[in-house]
Amino acid sequence: MTSDVGPTLTHLDASGRVQRVEVGHQPLAARLATAQGQVRRPERTLEAILADQGPKGNVVEAARLAGIMAAKRTAELIPLCHPFPLTSITTGVEMEALTAVAVAALTLYDMAKALEKAMVIENIRLLRKYGGSSGPSGFDQNRPSQ
C-alpha cells in the first residue's frame, strides 16, 4: 500500500502512534518458520554442557524448554506481534521461531555462565518461512533469489 508521499505504515495511526494491526479477519493458514542462533564458547565449555556437568543442571534441556516457553509467549514479549495458535515448537512462525532461539541462547548462557563468562550470543536469524503472507514458496535463506 502506497500513497503519493511514500508507503503507508500499517502499524502507525493517523497521529503517528504505534498500533497493532487487526488480523482477526484472516483465515487460519499453515505456517512454518525455522531460525537459528549461535553461542560462541570454548570447547571445554561445550564438553561440560554435553556431559551434563553444568552447575545449574541439564543446560541443553533447560534451553530447549525455555525456547518452547518463549515461542508460546512471543505475543506477550514483542510489541505488536499477534498471537498464533501453535501446534509444534520444533518450528513455528517467524517471530515465534526467532524468539525461541533468542531465549534458548540466553538460557544456555545463564545455565553455563559459571563455566564460562565470555560466551557470545550471535547470528540469530530467520532461515526459512512458509505460509501466511509469504505464500507457499515463502522465504528460504539457502535458496538463490529469483
110 is annotated as an active-site residue: yes
Please indicate, yes or no, if residue 139 is contained in any of the structural domains: no
Give helix 59-72 / helix 94-112 axis angle, nearest 10°: 150
User: Any residues with CB less than 8 A from the CB of 86 and at least 6 apart, and which?
Assistant: 71, 72, 92, 93, 96
Please indicate, yes or no, if residue 21 is contained in any of the structural domains: no
Please indicate, yes or no, if residue 19 is contained in any of the structural domains: no
Q: 37: domain CATH number?
A: 3.30.70.640
Residue 52's domain comprises: 29-132
Task: Look at the chain and report how many structural domains it folds into.
Answer: 1
Q: What is the pLDDT of residues 91-128, one digit of tens each?
A: 658 899 999 999 999 999 999 999 999 999 999 999 99
Of 4, 52, 110, 140, the catalytic one is: 110
Average pLDDT, the chain: 82
Distance CA 129, CA 94 (A): 6
Q: What is the pLDDT of residues 22-60, one digit of tens each?
A: 655 556 667 888 999 999 999 999 999 999 998 999 999
Q: Phi/psi of residue 131, each to 5°? A: 85, 180
Please indicate, yes or no, if residue 104 is contained in any of the structural domains: yes
Instruction: Spell out where the chain has E strands.
Output: 2-3, 6-7, 31-40, 120-131, 139-140
Single pTM value for the model: 0.75
Please indicate, yes or no, if residue 12 is contained in any of the structural domains: no
